[in-house]
Amino acid sequence: MARKFVWVLALVCVLSAACRSVEKLSSKAAGWRNLFDGKTLNGWKASENKDTFSVRDGMIVVKGPRSHLFYVGPVENASFKDFELKADVMTEPGSNSGIYFHTEYQQTGWPSKGYEVQVNNSYKGDWKRTGSLYDVVNVKDAPAKDNQWFTEHIIVSGKHIVIKVNGETVVDYTEPENVIREDWPGRKLSSGTFALQGHDPNSIVYFKNIMVKPLPSEPAKKIKAVVVTGGHDFEEKPFLSLFEGYDDIEYVRADQKDHSEIFEDISAWDYDVIVLFNMTQNISPKRQENFIKLLNRGVGVLALHHSMGSFQQWDEYGKIIGTKYYLQPTSQNPASTYKHDVDFKVHIADNKHPITRGIGDFSTHDETYKNCGFQKDNRVLLTTDDPTSDKQIGWVRQYGKANICCIQVGHGPSVYAEASYRQLIARSIRWCAGRGN
């Protein structure tokens, strides 16, 4: 009898091990890849309070002051766009945590980039329960229980986000085009890595079987830019080369014969970004209204160089692009000035914005402007200390639903050939289109 029991027990162990092996092989065959080896935190990087995360019995244990554990390992080089993510999670009573996606490493604070999927079955300080797409689509009733393992399953494909808990869909959300979240501007789809949250010292949460399945991304539609010219001469071939050679950007030129006819009829408008390189003046009330309608739809604007002097009699234009080049003095402002052929240095004043991130200061040869007017709420990205120029020479802002960028630099071929400038232009177009985040 004893021998028979031992034999049966051994057979059960063998079959159990075989089942686990088959499960691993089938998961791998289905495209699932492990992000956690069950033994170490290799491939993960904790932010502040690193001791909040530890490994025990095949689990990541989260217990301690606020910290976030970012995946930095080799799978997809830790950059995911469309994917499925599964993790088995267990919470102790009164605990709070979360799983971030499309995020990036951040040393302190709550991650500012990406979405958070909530892990919270009974934490009293926040009613948003497990499975919530935090502060976007919130789940009021917890779909899981403390002290019991549950599976959180996140699916992202294009603009579509689905969150399942134990196989039941709790969130089905499609992100609007050009979404703007004033409180959390980085809470939008892009691409990035994952992070597990350590929320507070009293929260104890466990994670295991963390797996991802990258999904093929649909080719993104090209950004359609319309380059508006007229009212000022320029060297066409080198300037238009700024918009050529990109897989994700296409452009058409719209040379204005009647100052602003592009805004006469917008019923068939099909552009994502307006690149202003005109210096035309007349814009009727109807055209003004149509321009603003486009901005309220989320059509972005990149205003370059002498477009700062366009539409002098339309005060709202200066509020849209954040500046005005004064062709004539006013009671409050002297006439703006310009100087050709200046060698000066462009300083990156804000290296955290998607347009400027990773670009260093550079020197160039171009035309400078001075005594222009500026809106106080411009977010300044570029500056110079050259005495012939105003200090701020590049900035971003919002108008309606539109992303607006203005770059004063951009008169001639010397700067058009500058690699950093070309990179700024391409990134600005992407950001104005809501793509470069």
DSSP class of residue 94 equals: T
> Do 330 and 187 share a domain, yes or no?
no
In a domain, 317, yes or no: yes
Condensed to tens digits (0 to 9), the pLDDT of residues 23-39 reads 444 555 579 999 999 99
Assess whether pLDDT exceeds 50 at residue 22.
Answer: no
The 10 Å Cβ neighbour count of residue 424 is 25
Only one residue has tokens 């951040």, namely 106
The pair of structure tokens assigned to 394 is 């590049």
Nearest to 130 by CA among 138, 140, 118: 118
pLDDT at position 29 is 54
End-of-domain residue from the set 169, 196, 214: 214
Q: What is the mean pLDDT of residues 111-126?
A: 97
Give yes or no for residue 135 having a pLDDT over 50: yes
- Give me the domain span that covers residue 238: 223-432
437 located within any domain: no
How many CB atoms lie under 10 A from the CB of residue 232? 15
The whole-angstrom separation of Cα 415 and Cα 327 is: 24
> Angle at CA 282, nearest 5°, toward 278 and 283?
95
Say yes or no to pLDDT of 234 above 80: yes
280: region left, alpha or beta (phi > 0 left; psi from -120 to 50 alpha): beta
Which segment of 103-117, 209-223, 355-369, 379-393 scores lowest on mean pLDDT? Answer: 209-223
The CATH number linked to 270 is: 3.40.50.880
The secondary element (H helix, E strand) that includes residue 236 is helix 236-240
What is the per-residue pLDDT across 343-392, written as a single tens digit (0 to 9) for each? 999 999 998 898 998 889 999 999 999 999 999 999 999 999 999 999 99
> What mean pLDDT comes out for the span 142-159?
96
Q: Are residues 165 and 268 in the same domain?
A: no
Structure tokens at 265: 């009829």
154 token code pair = 């996140």
Mean pLDDT over the full length of the chain: 92
Q: At which of 164, 189, 214 does a domain end?
A: 214
* Assigned domain for 272 exists: yes
- Which residue type, as a one-letter code, is found at position 57? D
Write down how long the chain is. 437
* pLDDT, average across residues 388-415: 97
Q: What is the pTM of this model?
A: 0.57
pLDDT digits (tens, 9 = 90+) for 248-292: 899 999 999 999 999 999 999 999 999 999 999 999 999 999 999
pLDDT at 155 over 60: yes
Residue-level pLDDT at 358: 84
Whether residues 170 and 257 fall in one domain: no
User: Per the structure, how many domains does the chain have?
Assistant: 2
Q: Give pLDDT, residue 183.
A: 85
Confidence of residue 4 (pLDDT cuts 50, 70, 90): low
- The answer to the question of residue 19 being in a domain is no
Per DSSP, 5 falls in state: H
Same domain for 327 and 306, yes or no, is yes
Q: Tens of pLDDT along 56-85? A: 999 999 999 999 999 999 999 999 999 999
Q: 64-69, long-range: CB within 8 Å, 24+ apart, which pairs?
A: 64/198, 64/201, 65/198, 65/200, 65/201, 66/110, 66/198, 66/199, 66/200, 67/198, 68/100, 68/106, 68/110, 68/111, 68/195, 68/196, 68/197, 68/198, 69/41, 69/44, 69/45, 69/195, 69/196, 69/198
Q: What is the pLDDT of residues 296-339, one digit of tens each?
A: 999 999 999 999 999 999 999 999 999 999 999 999 999 999 99
β-partners of residue 274 are 226, 301
Query: What is the mean pLDDT of the segment spanning 95-121?
Result: 97
pLDDT at 437: 61
Residue 14, pLDDT > 50, answer: no
Mark whether 200 and 240 lie in a shared domain. no
Evaluate whether residue 204 is within a structural domain.
Answer: yes
Same domain, 227 and 210: no
Question: Could you say which of 167, 183, 214 is where a domain stops?
Answer: 214
Q: Are residues 317 and 168 in the same domain?
A: no
Domain shared by 155 and 209, yes or no: yes
CATH number, domain at 113?
A: 2.60.120.560
Which pLDDT score, from 0 to 100, does residue 2 have? 52
Pair type for strands 300-304 and 273-278: parallel
Residue 86 falls inside a structural domain: yes
Q: Are residues 257 and 203 in the same domain?
A: no
**Cα 296 to Cα 401: distance, rounded to the nearest angstrom:** 5
Question: What pLDDT is stored for residue 313 in this prediction?
Answer: 97
Answer with the residue of higher pLDDT: 181 or 414.
414
Looking at the structure, tell me whether residues 228 and 119 fall in a common domain.
no
